[in-house]
Structures are given as C-alpha cells and as structure tokens.
Chain A
Amino acid sequence: MFNILSILAKYIFVFIIYMFIFLIIRMIYLDINQLSIEKNLNGAYLKLLNRLDDLQYKLKDSYSIADEITLGRSNDNDIVIKSPYVSKHHFKIVKDEREFYIEDLNSSNGTYINGERIYDARKLKKGDIIKVGELEFMFMDMN
C-alpha cells in the first residue's frame, strides 16, 4: 500500500514544486512590470503602500497626478475605492503653482496626513503619508 502512495506522491511533489516555482516567477514578473510603470512616472504621484493582494478591490500600485486628482467610492472619481470606510467623494489633490494641496471633502471617516487628521486644504511635501480608511498612500514628487 505504501508503495503505491509513494509513487503517486512523487508525481504530486514534482507538480507542486514546479507550480510553486511558477507562481513565484510569475509574481516577480508582475512586480517588475509594476516597477517599470513606476519608472515612467516623472511628475508627482501617489504610491500605494498596502499590499495589493490583501485588498478585496482593484487598485493600482501608483497614480500619477497631473493637475487634479480625486478619490472616493463613486465612479466619477479618478481613484475609485470600493471600500465601506471611504466616502463617495473623499479627498482631492490640486496643483497650484508647482505646489500640491490636499483637501478633505467632508468625508465621514476623515483623511489623515502623517497620522494627523486634516479638516481643510493642506500643502503636501514629498514623503507625506496619506491615510484613507485602511489604505495608505505616499505622496511622491519627482521635480
């Protein structure tokens, strides 16, 4: 009885090991793909700090900001987040003379910059961490 199981198992083992390798290579490949997208960003952008796998909804790794960007649950936003903790229109970031300002749009759960809740427009600097619900973005500005 053991013999037959052992013979079956050896095929299963080879299958699992190669499946495992395939998965890892595939994930690394996706990672690198995302890195190269990141490289193309040369203005200001928001970088998602959460791990994509942990999220139940679709998100990109980073969002570049041209002149204005809005975030919220409804579909007319630039960044749409289908999370119960995010308001329909949560915040927006606008550009004014090379500077970027973030403004909370009276969201129910609030917008936090570096752990501090904001109530009005606030200037962003490179490396600021923006927290919305369970999501964290880092503000990056390459200029």
Chain B
Amino acid sequence: MSDIERKRILKVVSIMAFLNIILIFYLTYFQIFQAENIKQNPYNKRLWADEQEIIRGSFYDRNNNVLAYSIIGENDNIERVYKYDYLYSHIIGYSFREYGKAGLEKTYNSSLIGNTNTIDINNIKNLIGNERQGNDIVLTIDHDIQQKSRELLLGKKGSIITMNPKTGEIYSMVSMPDFNVNNLANEWENIIENPNSPLLNRATQGLYPPGSTFKIVTALSSLQNDSTDTDYICTGSIIVDGYRINDYDGKNHGNVGLEDAFIESCNTYFAEASLRLGHDKILETAENFYFNKKIQFDLDLKQSSFPTNDMTKTELAASGIGQGRILVTPLEMLMVTSAIANDGNIVKPHLVSKILSYKGDVIETRSIEILNNVGNYNDVKKIQDMMIDAVRIGTGKNAKLRDITVAGKTGTAENSSGLDHAWFVGYAPAENPKIAVVVLLEEEGATGGRSAAPIAKDLIEFSLQKLN
C-alpha cells in the first residue's frame, strides 16, 4: 500500500468520523435548546393524547371548595369543567385543545396529568397502580375573598391582590377585564380583539409606574442612609434641570419632615430626597425589594424594573416619587408592602399550597420561603408608623376602619394615557398583620386616596372577618 493511499484512506475515515460527531452534537443541541419549544407546538399530538386517557386533576381553594375538575362525559370523552365562568380566568386559566392552555392549567400541566418528574414514593405508587388519574391542586386562594375582590373591581380596569404578608399565601388575585372560560368558543374572537386585553393577567403581567406607593422604598432608603431632611419647606413645586415637579394639585405642604412628607405624600420632598441619595443608593434599596430580579412564581411573572443605567437628574428626581422609568407589577408592590408589614422580611408569594394524588396523599407542599431582608427593624418600624399615620390622618384616610388599624400608602401615577392610575397598598391589622392588599385601578383618572383606598377598606374589613 502506497503512502499516498494510506493517507487518503485516513482522510476519508476522518471525514466519516467528523460527520458522525456532527450528528451527535446536533442531537445534543436540539435536545437542550429546541426540544422544549417544539414539544409545546399545538400540532404535537402527544400533548393531548395523554389527556384523552387521563382524568385531569382538580383545583380546590384553601377551604376545599372545588373550583375546576374533569368528568367523563358523553362518548367517554373527558371534559373539563370550570365551576366559575369568570372568577378564576386568570388564576386557573383554561385547558382546551382548540385554544391551548393558560394560567395554572399551563404551568402545572404535568402535575395535573400525573407526570411529576420528581421520583418519590407516591409517584412510584401511581405508576405501579397504573391509574390514569392526575394529581389535584390545592390553592392558597380563599374563594369568598376572591369573589369579594372581583365584586369590588367589577366594571373597572385593574387588579386586586390580597396575601398573607407573613407566609406569602395569596388569598385572592383578580385582574379586570376578565373573560368567561366556559364560553371561549363563542367569545374567542372578541377576547383576542378587545383593546383592553382581557387575556392579560394584570396582577403579574401588567407593568405600571408605581407613583407615590414607591415612596415606601425612597423613605426606607433615606432612613437607611441617614439622609433625612427634618426641616424641608415645601412650596408646591420644584424645578430640576428645567423640568418642574409638582405636588398633587400644586398643594403647598409648608415645613415638613420625612414623616409629614410621607403622610401627605409630598412629591417635592421625595424628589429632593432622591437627588440627595443618588442613583446607587435608591437602586440598592429597590433591588433589596426584588426589583430587577427574577422571582419564581406559579404563574408567568414579569420582572419589575428600576433603571440600572445612568439617569438624568430629572429622571432621578422623578423616580423618587415612583415616576420616570420605574415599572412594577401589582404583585411586586404587594411584596414591597408585605415586607414592611413583616418587619422587613420579604416572603415569596405563592398560589399553590399542596399537590395531592388522586387518593389524597400529599405529593408536594409549599412552606414559607423568605427571599430577603430589606432593612433593620428600627427603620422598618418607622415606615410602619408612617403608613399607619397615612391612613389615620393622611392621604389614605378613606381606608380607615373603626376597630382595626390599617397601614397603607396611596399612589397616583401619571402615564401616557392622560388618565392617572390609582394605587393603594396596605395591610391590617397594623399591630399583627394578617392581610396585605394591593389595589390598582388602571387609567382611573382619580387619586389613589379617593378611588383605590375605599376598595381596600371594604376588602380588608371583609377579609379579616372571613379569616377570623
């Protein structure tokens, strides 16, 4: 055999080996980067094949009221039944072959059809039993509070969420407008084309300027950095780099300290405060509150953001009062409020409390998870007191209850629509918080104190009665 022949044979072998290695690499690449997406393609018959044979698990609220379940209907077809047309359209969502999946039906699909990936005893029992029945999901939702929340928001646009600030259990979460999950076939076109986007879950997917509710963050940052001005004179407006920042209705608050400024929601004070603090300090405090961070939640959750790149002086001043480029989800503002209520500890919010096998064995439970501590007790305590006073004698008076101390903060956020968003965040009872609430009225065109605070008041009163 000549040398040249040997060399060429080796070259051909190398090409063959190379081709095979490409195959291996491509397969691996496909599996890691593309497979997950491709699996979710609605044309993948496998997505639905299992469901024709498996009785999908049910949803329960915290008091074991059934909310959604499956039955074997005519022709042995398995049918999904949603007990409430509108009430859970954004939480539980829907699962239909024609329209796909949304809400918890989507994120908990594999649990519902019994394919939990974790290998534990119950899962193995399920496999051995060869039962074609999925797992049930118990929510942290209280059906009555959920219903009350929806009633209060009916006819408006926006979102209400209530949660236990110490455990992160969400009692109610509504987003308006919503839609009828039992009538998608007739309304699908309308739902899709509606400019108010009923499919959008505003509680987790809507991003809004927080307005004055953000002053909780600015105030805490000021306390933490010993940057409070006890002797500020509010003239109703200030001019930063040529731009004028006004107080609401140009009101002149006179001589105010941090407490008075917070209670009366004095914009000029907080604009000056954030200029004094500087970008880095506020950003740090905001990130302690989980701005710009990913939070694992049971539903898809948009990330709330505080600008990280350079800001102009005007933008910095505006961000102190929750305007400018800050964007938050209502759930994020609820977490901020809960952190104050919980003496500085942010807990992770959750909607699902337990996953049960069809026999009722507990497969998975959620426990309290503290994400972060936002500040020391003394500073947080001062914010708590200011929030109590804001409801007692300040902008949040409309949230005041006779027997229960409510703490809260109002917000009125300017936005491009021209109609302000109205905010109220708060918790009660202030001495031992049992519920935290966020009310957001989108494009309400009224102040948070006037429109959002009364809703919060009713809801808090109702919920505390219900929870006791």
Contact = CB atoms under 8 A, between A and B. Distances in A.
B127 interface: yes
Contacts of B127: 3-4, 7
10 contacts: A1-B128, A1-B130, A2-B130, A3-B127, A3-B128, A3-B130, A4-B124, A4-B127, A4-B128, A7-B127
Chain B interface size, under 10 / 10 to 19 / 20 to 34 / 35 or more: under 10
B53 to A, nearest CB: 13
Contacts of A1: 128, 130
Contacts of A4: 124, 127-128
Interface string B120-146: 000010011010000000000000000
B181 to A, nearest CB: 32
B399 to A, nearest CB: 55
A1 B131 CA distance: 10
A4 B130 CA distance: 9
Main secondary structure of the interface of A (DSSP, over half): helix
Interface in A1-18: 1-4, 7
Nearest to B126: A3
A7 B128 CA distance: 11
A2 B130 CA distance: 8
Nearest to A4: B127
A28 to B, nearest CB: 13
Given A1-B130, A4-B124, 6 more contacts: A1-B128, A2-B130, A3-B127, A3-B128, A4-B127, A4-B128
A81 B124 CA distance: 56
Contacts of B124: 4
Contacts of A7: 127
- Ordered nearest first, which 5 A-B pairs have the shortest CB separation? A3-B127, A4-B127, A4-B128, A1-B128, A4-B124
Nearest to A7: B127
Interface string B143-171: 00000000000000000000000000000
A46 B128 CA distance: 62
Contacts of B130: 1-3
* Most B C-beta atoms less than 10 A away, residue of A1, A2, A4, A7: A4
B120 to A, nearest CB: 13
Interface in B43-60: none
Contacts of A2: 130
Contacts of A3: 127-128, 130
Nearest to A2: B130
A1 B127 CA distance: 7
Interface in B86-138: 124, 127-128, 130
Interface in B263-295: none
Interface in A87-117: none
A84 B442 CA distance: 98
Interface in B394-428: none
Nearest to B129: A1
A36 to B, nearest CB: 16
A63 to B, nearest CB: 27
Nearest to B125: A4
B23 to A, nearest CB: 15
B131 to A, nearest CB: 10
Interface string A1-45: 111100100000000000000000000000000000000000000
Nearest to B124: A4
B401 to A, nearest CB: 56
B255 to A, nearest CB: 73
B50 to A, nearest CB: 13
A11 to B, nearest CB: 11
A49 B234 CA distance: 104
B20 to A, nearest CB: 13
